[in-house]
Every structure is written in structure tokens, then in C-alpha cells.
Amino acid sequence: MIPEIYLSSPHLGDLELQYVQEAFAANWVAPVGPHIDAFERELCIETGAAHAAALSSGTSALHLSLVLLGVSPGDEVICQSFTFAASANPIVYQGATPVFIDSEADTWNMCPDALEMALKDRLARGKRPKAVIVVNLYGMPAKLDALLKICHQYEVPLVEDAAESFGSTYNDKPCGSFGKLAVLSFNGNKIITTSGGGALLSEDEALIKRARFLATQARDPAPYYQHSSIGYNYRISNVCAGIGRGQLRILADRVAQRRANYAYYFEHLIKLPGFAFQPEPDPCFSNRWLTCITVDPDLSGGITCEAIRLALAEKRIEARPLWKPMHQQPVFAGLPYYGSGVSNRLFKTGLCLPSGSNLTREQITKVVSCVEETVEVAYLADGKN
Ligand SMILES: *Cc1c(COP(=O)(O)O)cnc(C)c1O
């Protein structure tokens, strides 16, 4: 199916092309160039982070964060289970073992109690995890104060996977500025895009300098090619950074547009029996990257999220189940997991609705009507009207 209404598609502004043209005119097409430096400075202004390295993807930023923290074969790294696989895969790139943590119901992100239980248990087994990867899922900040306090107490660095939460804040502090290192993604489906890209952010200048060095093949300062470390080809291109600079200028608009989508869905769908939305507890402010609902079939007259997804697909409207937790993925079978089933339940009952900032009023009305009709038809069939 080629959707007529996408889950989340790129949405360019007026300045991106101008920046790209500048890059072409100066032949700064590759590899580095002035847009990269400017993009990094502007990312720092936007997030309040002291230092930023612009990279080829969010995944490469996560990978470098683990390299910088010294994650090596045989180590353990704690990771939120309810997330996209790219949060966890880099742990395995380093030959380390992921230890998965369940979510809490308030923000759908890493449960502080489960994290503490896991840390105690891993330490009792003689293993100190090398890092904790916390995700702000669908744009919603995790309980960062509580998580940071635990990480501090157990002396394990926190990596903030803010790939989905650029433009969100926690306690008025921007996502991407928490923890030892933070990661952004500018993939095509994210709130802003560089066509493909990411960034690594930190207060620690030495870490970010080292990230830039490793991301450009780890060339020692010598006239010939000499290497004392294993490097990567993880830098962003000057053309992509130019797109990013244009997108940064309209980030606040994109957040407002996505939050307006959420508000519209909430207004129309919350009255349907069994329907609920991802909560936004104090002091979280979410960019509402994706609007996510859950449907409790015991209250909805038997209608499931999957039935709604299929009904939408029939109208060429793209919706997706919530992330399947990592501890349930075949590729991660048998790895340690600490939790009580919150993410399992969310996966079983949840759905992401079309949430692009370029969604028209006509399109969102169509999505809402389709969901309402599906519920009504189920009710009629059930004889409950
Ligand atoms: C998109 C995403 C990533 C990976 O970012 P890419 O730029 O696509 O490599 C990592 N973590 C989460 C939670 C994501 O949603």
C-alpha cells in the first residue's frame, strides 16, 4: 500500500534550499564545510548543550556514545526495552550485552524502580553496567530526575536517546541536554530531518572532540595516514547540515503543529469507550512527535487497535502499532529483563496515529472519522446500541 496519509513524513521549510544552494555554489558538497560548524553551534543554542557533533545518523551517535564510554566485549549496558531497535543495537556492535528495563505507565519510559532493582541485581552478580540508555519515547520525556539520581548514586553514566524528543522539555530544560551524552536523530520521519543525520551532545568538550575524531576515521595528526584508534565514517555531510540549519529555524512551529494534531485527536477520540492517550505528566512537555492511543478491548466493546489499524489501512491511512519491546524481540531472546509487563501491555493495546506536521485539517478529519466509524460499526454489530 502506498499511503495517502503518512504516519510522519518530511516537512521542509523555506530556507533549506537556500542553504543547500550555498553549499553547491561554494563546492562545499563534501566532506566537511561551514554548514556543519554552524549547525553544531545552532544545535547547542537550541538544546542548551555545551558541545555537539553532527553525525550521519542517530544510530551512529548512539554507537559513538558507547565507544566513548569504553563499552567493550563482555560488558553490560542497561537499555529501555520499550523503544526502537536502534537504541539497543549499538550495545551489540560493541560486543556488550543489553539488559532491558520495563516502562512505567506515566510517561511510557524507563521505570526508575525497575532500573534500581536491575542495578542492585547486576552489582550483586559482580557486574557494573557501563551505561544506562534512557529513551524519551514518541517525544515524551522520561522521569529524568529520578533516573539521573539513581544513575548518579550507582555511578553509571546515563545516555539520553532523544532521537524522538527534539523540541521537548523536562522541567523546562530541553531534551538532548540530560545525562553524560545525549543523542538526536534527523532521520526522515523525525520532527525535523536532514534527509538522514544525527547528533551527539554533551557538557564534556573532550568527549565531543573525540567523537568528531572517531567519526572521521580516527586520523592521527600526521601528514600521512596514521591511526592509533579504530575509526568510523560517521560524520554528517555539509549538504545535509545545510538542510538541518533550515529545519532548525522552524522547529518550534513543527512542535506546535504536532501538538495541535494531538489536541485534535484527543478532543475527538477521548470520548470513545476504552480509548486513552500517552499521558503528559508534570514536568514533561512533549513535542508529541507521534500521537499514540491505547484501546482497552474490555471497555471498547471488543474493538482492538489492530482492527482500527486495518480499517485505516483500507483507506490508505498509515498507522503503526506501538514499538514491540526489545525483550520480546527474537534477536534479543534470553537477555536479562527487569519489569512487570507495562511495555507488553502497551504493545498489545497501542497504536500510533498519523502525526506529521504537514497533515492537513482535511486529512486529520478523515483519520478521526475512520476511527469513529470503526468503533460505531463494532458497537452495532455487538448489539450494544
Ligand atoms: C530514530 C531513532 C533512532 C535512530 O536514529 P537514526 O537517525 O534513524 O539512526 C534511535 N532511537 C530512537 C528511539 C529512534 O526513534
Q: Residue 354 carries which DSSP code?
A: P
The pLDDT assigned to 83 comes to: 98
Q: Could you give the percent of the chain with pLDDT greater than 70?
A: 99
Q: How distant, in Å, are the alpha carbons of 63, 88, 164, 213, 311 from that of 327?
A: 20, 10, 20, 34, 29
Average pLDDT, the chain: 96
| Ligand 1 atom index nearest CA of 185 | 7
pLDDT band at 378 (very low <50, low <70, confident <90, very high): confident
Domains in the chain with CATH codes: 16-251 (3.40.640.10), 252-381 (3.90.1150.10)
Q: How distant, in Å, are the alpha carbons of 184, 200, 215, 233, 259 from that of 191?
A: 11, 17, 24, 25, 11
Q: Which DSSP string do the residues of 238-304 spell out, in sequence order?
A: HHHHHHHHHHHTTHHHHHHHHHHHHHHHHHHHTTSTTEEE----TTEE---SSEEEEE-TTTTTT--
Residue 385 or 58, more confident: 58
Q: Residue 85 carries which DSSP code?
A: G
Residue with the smallest CA separation from ligand 1 atom 14 is 163
Q: Strand 132-135 to strand 158-161: parallel, antiparallel, or no bridges (unpaired)?
A: parallel
Whole-angstrom distance, CA of residue 287 vs CA of residue 299: 29
Annotation says 143 is catalytic: no
Give the residue among 88, 185, 150, 153 at the shortest CA–CA distance from 175: 185
The single residue of 130, 143, 180, 190 carrying the catalytic annotation is: 190
The amino acid that residue 27 corresponds to is N
pLDDT band at 301 (very low <50, low <70, confident <90, very high): confident
pTM: 0.97
**Is it the case that residue 383 has pLDDT exceeding 70?**
no
Under 8 Å between Cβ of 322 and 135: no
The arithmetic mean of pLDDT across residues 85-112, rounded, is: 98
Report the Cα 195 to chain-centroid distance in Å. Answer: 16
CA of 60 to the centre of ligand 1 (A): 9
Q: Strand 181-185 to strand 284-285: parallel, antiparallel, or no bridges (unpaired)?
A: unpaired
The pLDDT assigned to 385 comes to: 47
| Ligand 1 atom index nearest CA of 62 | 10
**Is it the case that residue 151 has pLDDT exceeding 50?**
yes
For 215-239, write each residue's pLDDT tens digit.
999 999 999 999 999 999 999 999 9
Whole-angstrom distance, CA of residue 186 vs CA of residue 199: 8
Give the residue among 353, 348, 379 at the shortest CA–CA distance from 365: 353
The arithmetic mean of pLDDT across residues 64-92, rounded, is: 98
- 5-28 burial, b at 16+ Cβ within 10 Å, e below that, comes to bbbbbbbebebbeebbebbeeeeb
CA of 137 to the centre of ligand 1 (A): 11
Give the residue among 90, 92, 113 at the shortest CA–CA distance from 102: 113
